[in-house]
Amino acid sequence: MNQTQEIELAKQFYDKCFDILKKKAHDYAQEDDCFSNFKKIASICEVPTSKVFIMFMTVKIARLVELTKKGESQTGESMQDSCLDIANYGCLMSLYLGEDYEN
């Protein structure tokens, strides 16, 4: 793969991430607070909200580790899907930290 192909494939990856983020935002958070679901989990678990993002990413990473041992999932969620989710959780955490909610 050359650099031009890499950039084009990365663009396609991030376009998919953006599409997923738009679709899931409506289902997982309140319209006036895109972090409401993460805050709710943080409150239930009595941890900082930033740790919830890390927990979600860690679950996806653990899933990838298992799938690399066993092969593709039988549930319909591919390894690629997990990579997209990790990227989106990273993006959301970055946005959250940029808002400086915990300080």
Q: Cα–Cα distance between 72 and 64 in angstroms, integer?
A: 9
| CB proximity list for 31: less than 8 A, separation 6 or greater | none
- pLDDT the model gives residue 9: 97
- pLDDT the model gives residue 3: 96
Concatenate the DSSP letters of all residues of 7-75 into one string.
Answer: HHHHHHHHHHHHHHHHHHHHHHSBTTBTTHHHHHHHHHHTS-HHHHHHHHHHHHHHHHHHHHHH-S-SS
**32: DSSP letter:** T
- How many residues appear in the chain? 103
- pLDDT the model gives residue 73: 67
- pLDDT the model gives residue 100: 64
- pLDDT the model gives residue 77: 80
- pLDDT the model gives residue 75: 73
Q: What is the pLDDT along the chain (103 residues), one digit of tens a residue?
A: 999 999 999 999 999 999 999 988 888 788 889 899 999 999 999 999 999 999 999 999 999 998 888 877 667 788 999 999 999 999 999 999 997 655 5
Q: Positive or negative CA dihedral for 16, 19, 23, 24? A: positive
